[in-house]
Structure 1
Amino acid sequence: MPSDSTATGTRPPGLRERKKQRRYEAISETAIALFLERGFEKVSVAEIAEAADISKPTLFRYFASKEDVVLHRFADHEDEAARVVTTRGEATALDALHHHFLAGLDRHDPVTGLCDSPAVLAFHRLLYGTPSLVARLYGYQDRSERALAGALATAHGGTPLKARLAAAQIVAVQRTLAEENWRRIAAGEPAAGVHPEAVTSANEAFGQLRSGLGCYA
Structure 2
Amino acid sequence: MTEPAGLRERKKQRTREAISNAAINLFLEHGFDQVSVAQVAEVAEVSRRTLFAYFPTKESLVVHRFADHETESARMVRGRPEGRTPLEAIREHFLDGLDRRDPITGLSDVPEVLALYRMIFATPALLARMLELNQTAEEALAEALADTAAVRPGEARVAASAIVAVLWTLARENHRSVASGHSADEVFPQARAAAEEAFGLLEGGFGRLGVA
TM-score range, shorter chain: over 0.9
Partner residue, 1:154: 147
2:195 aligned to which of 202, 211, 215 = 202
Q: CA deviation at 1:158?
A: 2.2
SS in 1 for 2:90: helix
Corresponding position: 1:41 with 2:33: yes
CA distance in 2, matches of 1:141, 1:26: 26
Contact 2:76 2:93 in 1 (8 A): yes
Corresponding position: 1:178 with 2:174: no
Q: CA deviation at 1:153?
A: 1.0
Counting only pairs closer than 5 Å after superposition, residues 84-99 of structure 1 correspond to structure 2 as: 84-90=76-82, 91-99=84-92
Contact 2:174 2:187 in 1 (8 A): yes
Structure 2 length normalisation: TM-score?
0.92
Same amino acid, percent of matched pairs: 54
CA distance in 2, matches of 1:23, 1:141: 27
The C-alpha deviation readout for 1:87-141, integer Å capped at 9, x for no partner, is 1112111111000000000011111011111111111111111111111112111
Q: CA deviation at 1:216?
A: 4.0
1:52 aligned to which of 37, 41, 44 = 44
Corresponding position: 1:71 with 2:36: no
Unaligned runs of 5+ in 2: none
Unaligned runs of 5+ in 1: 1-12
Q: Over aligned residue pairs, what C-alpha RMSD do you find?
A: 1.4
CA distance in 2, matches of 1:215, 1:41: 44
Partner residue, 1:215: 209
Contact 2:73 2:141 in 1 (8 A): yes
CA distance change for structure 1 residues 28 and 102 in 2, over 3 Å: closer, same or farther? same
Q: CA deviation at 1:159?
A: 2.1
Contact 2:77 2:144 in 1 (8 A): yes
SS in 2 for 1:158: coil
The one-letter code of the counterpart of 2:183 is P
Partner residue, 2:123: 130
Q: CA deviation at 1:22?
A: 2.6
CA distance in 2, matches of 1:112, 1:216: 25
CA distance in 2, matches of 1:14, 1:88: 30
The one-letter code of the counterpart of 2:75 is R
Corresponding position: 1:26 with 2:21: no
Structure 1 length normalisation: TM-score?
0.90
Partner residue, 1:7: none
The one-letter code of the counterpart of 1:215 is L
